[in-house]
Structure 1
Amino acid sequence: MKKCEFKIDAKISELNPSVLLTLSGPNTDSGLQAKPAYFQGIEKFIVDSDILFPVIAECRVIKSPAEIEVLRYVARVSSDAHKQVMKQIRPGWHEYQGESVFLHHSYSVGGCRHMSYTCICGAGSNSAILHYGHAGSPNDRLIQDGDMCLFDMGANYGGYTSDITCSFPVNGKFSADQKLIYNAVLAARDAVCANAKDGVSWVDMHLLANREMLGQLKQGGLLQGEVDDMMAAGLNAIFQPHGLGHLLGLDVHDVGGYLSHCPERPSEPGVNRLRMARTLKAGMYVTIEPGCYFIEPLLNKAFADPNLSKFLVKDQIDRFRTFGGVRIEDDVLITQTGIDNFTFVPRTVEEIEAWMAK
């Protein structure tokens, strides 16, 4: 039998291209680098590895109708899987048992063989660790009655990602303190959901969420002073040391945040953690994920800084030292007039308690 050999350089030479464009560039969110294609004989061509990446990345920012349907599906599967976790979990479980319920439902019911990222299943003080659940902290804590759970999990279907976070009390009933912090984050989330749309600044949405949350904490007696002064001092970054959200698609932290034609990363506390500083466009798919965390080193830093400590009511905040944190994260499509929220889980205190009571 005669061996068939295919030489790609010979085939390309027949086309006589003036230049070959190869895809190479960084995902400014994840830091991952797309490596350019290589084949034997590529050296004989003029190759440009700079032009293509920003063009393809920008194409990925705006979702096509077909992509939207896949993203809607995987968000629904993940939503239902979160609801199963909330329905089944009990005090005395380990964190990984909640994760296993999510994995089982996503695969057995939704056909999602893979996750979009390592599941974060933090209970109690672990819920203040933003990326808990990695190999060094493998979701193995025993969940105690009275603990708050923060479960950040998303299934993957056909390469398309979801990223949803639910926070809830393991026993299904919010304490007064849990309700205070949860409702502060929910108010931040609701404010963004009501205002995000085509033409709105993502930086402004982050600041809106932070301002709303600090206002709620002040009403709850944890903070004192003017919210605008708190924001100017950077207190918002003590309680939410991460950005409002990120682009979502083929990567869970998708490309397109800081391309050459986009605004640069802001430098002010809080907004310097944003995954992008762009103006929203219809067709963008993003997470909205405000959070409030009681992180010991950050609290100590704030109490040691007179510019920040003047806003803190110490005897009130001290009782939250081991509280952990709350995050509420939805996957939403930006439209001309608002958002299309693909996340379907109980969100209010009353909805969560009613669902878990079943």
Structure 2
Amino acid sequence: MFSASTYINRRQQLASSVASGLIFLPGNREAPMNYTDNTYPFRQDSNFRYFAGHNLPDLALTIDAASGASRLWGNDISLDHVVWMGEQPSVAELAKAIGAERGGNLAELSDLLKKQAKEVLFLPPYRAERKTFLKEHLASQLPSELGVGAGASEELVRAVIALRSIKSSEELEQMDIAVRTSMKMHAAAKAHAAPGQLEAEVAGLIEGIAISGNGRLSYPAIVTRNGHVLHNHYHGNTLQKGDLLLIDAGAEAPSGYAGDITRTFSVGAPMTTKQQDIYDIVQKALTDCTAALRPGVSYLSIHLDAGRIITAGLKNLGLMKGDIDEAVAAGAHALFMPHGLGHMIGLDVHDMEDLGEDLVGYDDKVRRSTQFGTRSLRLGRELQAGFVLTVEPGIYFIPALIDQWKADGTCADFINFDALDAYRDFGGIRLEDNVAVTETGYRVLG
């Protein structure tokens, strides 16, 4: 946790950004795996944690937009809980630690919300139990999805995004911690991975290092010899000598801030010429796109720069052809990189994604593309000092996608489909760093 003054300042800024109403920021509850007392590791709601700090279940925060008064609500634990969990701070003590007033217990909070239902402002819920709670307490006629403009307050969403998008120096310190632990994970994986091992052995090593850093994984790790499967969480393959092992894994610092790093290496042998050629293109895209980061530049333009670098590199290898700019404009590069160049990162690995990708990553100046590949870019807007984002170019050879494009003649003027036959079993390569945008350029975290 940060000092009480940090949370006081954040709440004051939020209150001043909202015209009126009672801002309601519920914390998360425990989530059972298979019965009530066997729960998943607890993870606090990031918006609650940003304004209230505590990583404890069954708490809620209210902020009066007019007065700025903040109250922390929750039930003090019983003696039975003390027997099993030990002494715990009271809700009054928790409130004092963040410079807020002690509200009432959760039953009293329920009464308050029902009485002031028309004045309550809330963010889009992502858990079913929270949707149910909101409908029970605010209005039975609320729409089923409770998204922005459908119950949830767009004014509040935009105010939270504006605050959380700009990382302070103390936030950046926490993100450096997360990235340094993440890099330890990747270094250990590269040193440990060997032919004959299951991917699961490497995945277990990685998760252990995240836990030993007094945190956890910030998202389920991708550890796979099949790097062309973008979100591959299966770890049951046996590693073979010369396999490309793609690892996309990040640690979460004790404060909740996330790291998100990807590295790809050859198991038990130097890369082949074919592997190294593709790796070098991806490395150039990472290096050049990172160097282009600065305030005022749209991330969409840098994403397209990555497309041009990838297209030029693959053209040199005989896998693509034609004019590079025309190929990127047509989206031909998306056969090999069907995802965006990166996304915001902070308390969430995809920062604030629960508030709406387009509201976080786009604005009136930069709209989301509808083109395959580029439409998956989560962050396209002009960059500002204080943004922290991922830069994660990749090249993948996805047999099903190649076959479909070849059959349809998609971008046939720019792709040498016959030459791709030699790459059908290649897999994929992705490289990823976490980068802060500064007043004058950028800083790679960690």
Q: TM-score range by the shorter chain?
A: 0.7 to 0.9
Evaluate the alpha carbon distance shift between residue 68 and residue 306 of structure 1 in structure 2; reply closer, same or farther with a 3 A threshold.
same
Q: Which residue among 227, 230, 235 is the counterpart of 1:130?
A: 230
Q: Which residue among 165, 181, 206 is the counterpart of 1:77?
A: 181
Matched, 1:98 2:198: no
CA distance in 2, matches of 1:93, 1:189: 29
Give the match's secondary structure for 1:281. coil
CA distance in 2, matches of 1:179, 1:282: 35
Matched, 1:145 2:246: no
- 1:146-295 aligned within 5 A: 146-157=242-253, 158-255=255-352, 257-259=357-359, 262=363, 263-295=366-398
Which whole-Å deviations, capped at 9, do the CAs of 1:184-208 have from their partners, x for residues lacking one? Answer: 1111111111101111111101000
CA distance in 2, matches of 1:12, 1:80: 46
Which whole-Å deviations, capped at 9, do the CAs of 1:163-191 have from their partners, x for residues lacking one? Answer: 11000101241110000111111111111
Q: Identity, % of aligned pairs? A: 33
Q: CA shift at 1:18, angstroms?
A: 11
The two structures have a TM-score, normalised by structure 2, of: 0.67
- Rg larger in structure: 2
Equivalent in the alignment of 2:402: 299
Matched, 1:23 2:127: no
Higher relative contact order (CA 8 A, sep 6+): 1
Q: CA shift at 1:217, angstroms?
A: 1.0
Evaluate the alpha carbon distance shift between residue 9 and residue 167 of structure 1 in structure 2; reply closer, same or farther with a 3 A threshold.
closer
Give the match's secondary structure for 1:127. coil
CA distance in 1, matches of 2:258, 2:387: 14
| One-letter amino acid of the counterpart of residue 168, structure 2 | S
Give the match's secondary structure for 2:329. helix
Contact kept in structure 2, 1:22 and 1:37, CA below 8 Å: no
Show structure 2 runs of 5+ residues with no match: 1-103, 140-150
CA distance in 2, matches of 1:188, 1:321: 22
CA distance in 2, matches of 1:32, 1:292: 37
The two structures have a TM-score, normalised by structure 1, of: 0.82
Give the match's secondary structure for 1:258. helix
Number of positions where the alignment pairs a residue of Structure 1 with one of Structure 2: 325
Evaluate the alpha carbon distance shift between residue 33 and residue 329 of structure 1 in structure 2; reply closer, same or farther with a 3 A threshold.
farther
Matched, 1:7 2:103: no
CA distance in 2, matches of 1:42, 1:130: 40
Q: CA shift at 1:72, angstroms?
A: 0.9
Give the match's secondary structure for 2:282. helix
| One-letter amino acid of the counterpart of residue 127, structure 1 | G
Show structure 1 runs of 5+ residues with no match: 344-358
Evaluate the alpha carbon distance shift between residue 291 and residue 32 of structure 1 in structure 2; reply closer, same or farther with a 3 A threshold.
farther
| One-letter amino acid of the counterpart of residue 145, structure 1 | K
- 1:53-72 aligned within 5 A: 53-72=157-176
CA distance in 1, matches of 2:179, 2:129: 27
Q: Which residue among 220, 223, 230 is the counterpart of 1:118?
A: 220
Evaluate the alpha carbon distance shift between residue 311 and residue 39 of structure 1 in structure 2; reply closer, same or farther with a 3 A threshold.
closer
Give the match's secondary structure for 1:309. coil
CA distance in 1, matches of 2:266, 2:117: 62
Contact kept in structure 1, 2:284 and 2:309, CA below 8 Å: yes
Matched, 1:333 2:424: no
Q: CA shift at 1:32, angstroms?
A: 10
Contact kept in structure 2, 1:201 and 1:277, CA below 8 Å: yes
